[in-house]
């Protein structure tokens, strides 16, 4: 597969009547976006706003973050299986509005959402304080069942990103990133002496607000699946996860999966990167045995020498992470784990809910329980009161002056387990 991500550097976003890109400025038409999304009969109202880096703006409660793009050559625009007809992704040329994100907010049925601060202390903890954010506030009609409500909000965000991405169709790209990889046999013949390495990406798959999607299919309904890395970079994997904001993998992060990009960068140099295995994280013991055994079997079938495993979430999925590790190491496959920790406010609690002696190479992406103090905002897009019901927030954490105290749990992308964040870990 050959994929080109053609990056159009966007330096500013403004509202206007005619969408397009000129001299690094993206113009979006607010009413056009509203009209597009209001075509869904389950949507009651849409609000659109812009939040820029450095502004004292707080966005809350966030559901997802999506990168606007348009495919200018090849099959599969948008998100096939969800917003468009099903086609195979991973090839072609894509114009990317680089530096721009669509951020969706609003009531999402449950209580676990997140916050993005565009300035100050809060900005240090989320990568989306650095993007020019087009914020879409989605209000569904009353009376929807919870699953329809959730799907309405999720799909509206994807449609918004797809619609906004059209503005970049004729724009010139400043940087073109090319991703080319043939089948495993061809690549191994090119690099016979390099160790074969696979990437196992665990996806939350635990029910309403706890799901990932692959070509529109709920990951909880599949066995572990081998995909070409280009497919994820091209939009095949999307987020339906609102478990804990800090380590949910947003759709934007799937589109720019840093673990995949790092492995791609080393492909043909010191490793032979053979592909991505998407593994669901289930809640039942039977389900865990099934997916973990199957994941290890796929790795053995591929004949890999090493595996990088990233988790999504913490607590219950820690068991899956360690079970996969044990099975791979017992098979003679070197395994590296990427996970965050739930170590308490003082950082002294047991970091994971499970352990195994085979886990000898573990990368920590931070403590989800770390407490931060966020200054009052000049402008809040959404509802500041939502912090009380976010994972990582509590009743009384919002102060009278508009400041708040919360755990990193509540901050979007703060401890991303694919490494897409600003946090580093210091060992003592």
Instruction: Summarize pLDDT for 149-159 with one digit per residue, the tens.
Output: 999 999 999 99
Annotated catalytic residue within 29, 242, 342, 397: 242
| Tens-place pLDDT, residues 275-330 | 999 999 999 999 999 999 999 999 999 999 999 999 998 888 999 999 999 999 99
Q: Which whole-number Å values give the CA distances from 82 to 3, 177, 280, 330, in the listed order?
A: 21, 26, 19, 39
Q: Which pLDDT does position 354 carry in this prediction?
A: 86
Instruction: Give the CA count within 13 Å in the CB-facing half-sphere of 150.
Output: 18
- Distance CA(32)–CA(200), nearest Å, equals 40
* pLDDT per residue as tens digits for the range 168-199: 999 999 999 999 999 999 999 999 999 999 99
What are the pLDDT tens digits along the chain (428 aa)? 999 999 999 999 999 999 999 999 999 999 999 999 999 999 999 999 999 999 999 999 999 999 999 999 999 988 999 999 999 999 999 999 999 999 999 877 765 679 999 999 999 999 999 999 999 999 999 999 988 999 999 999 999 999 999 999 999 999 999 999 999 999 999 999 999 999 999 998 877 777 899 999 999 999 999 999 999 999 999 998 877 899 999 999 999 999 999 999 999 999 999 999 999 999 999 999 999 999 999 999 999 999 999 999 888 899 999 999 999 999 999 999 999 999 889 888 888 888 999 999 999 999 999 999 999 999 999 999 999 988 899 999 999 999 999 999 999 999 999 988 877 666 65
Domain residue ranges in the chain: 2-410
pLDDT at 233 (0 to 100): 98
242 catalytic per annotation: yes
Please provide the average confidence, as pLDDT, over all residues in the chain. 94
């Amino acid at each position: 597969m050959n994929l080109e991500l053609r990056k159009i550097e966007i330096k500013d976003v403004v509202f206007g009547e005619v969408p397009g890109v000129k001299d690094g400025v993206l113009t979006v038409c607010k009413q056009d976006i509203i009209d597009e999304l209001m075509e869904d009969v389950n949507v009651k109202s849409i609000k659109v706003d812009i939040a820029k880096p450095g502004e004292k703006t707080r966005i809350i409660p966030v559901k997802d973050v999506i990168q606007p793009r348009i495919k200018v050559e090849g099959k599969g625009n948008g998100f096939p299986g969800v917003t468009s007809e099903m086609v195979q992704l991973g090839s072609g040329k894509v114009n990317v509005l680089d530096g721009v994100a669509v951020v969706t907010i609003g009531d999402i049925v449950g209580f676990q959402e997140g916050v993005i601060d565009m300035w100050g202390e809060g900005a240090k903890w989320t990568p989306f304080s650095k993007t020019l954010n087009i914020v879409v506030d989605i209000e569904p009609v009353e009376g929807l069942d919870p699953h329809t409500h959730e799907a309405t909000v999720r799909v509206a965000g994807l449609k918004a990103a797809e619609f906004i991405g059209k503005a970049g169709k004729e724009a010139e790209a400043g940087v073109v990133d090319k991703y080319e990889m043939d089948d495993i046999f061809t690549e191994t013949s090119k690099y016979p002496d390099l160790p074969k390495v696979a990437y196992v990406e665990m996806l939350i798959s635990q029910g309403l607000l706890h799901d990932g999607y692959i070509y529109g299919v709920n990951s909880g309904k599949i066995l572990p699946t081998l995909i070409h890395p280009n497919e994820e970079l091209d939009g095949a994997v999307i987020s339906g996860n609102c478990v804990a904001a800090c380590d949910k993998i947003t759709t934007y992060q799937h589109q720019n999966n840093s673990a995949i990009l790092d492995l791609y960068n080393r492909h043909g140099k010191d490793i032979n990167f053979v592909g991505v295995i998407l593994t669901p994280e289930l809640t039942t013991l039977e389900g865990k045995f099934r997916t973990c055994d199957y994941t290890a079997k796929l790795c053995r079938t591929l004949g890999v020498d090493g595996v990088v495993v990233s988790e999504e979430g913490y607590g219950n999925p820690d068991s899956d992470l360690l079970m996969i590790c044990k099975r791979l190491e017992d098979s003679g496959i070197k395994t590296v784990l990427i996970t965050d920790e739930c170590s308490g406010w003082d950082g002294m609690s047991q970091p994971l809910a499970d352990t195994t002696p085979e886990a000898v190479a573990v990368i920590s992406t931070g403590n989800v329980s770390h407490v931060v103090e966020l200054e009052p905002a000049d402008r809040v897009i959404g509802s500041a009161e939502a912090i009380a019901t976010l994972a990582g927030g509590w009743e009384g954490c919002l102060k009278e002056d508009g400041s708040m105290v919360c755990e990193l749990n509540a901050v979007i992308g703060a401890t991303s387990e694919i490494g897409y964040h600003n946090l580093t870990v210091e060992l003592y």
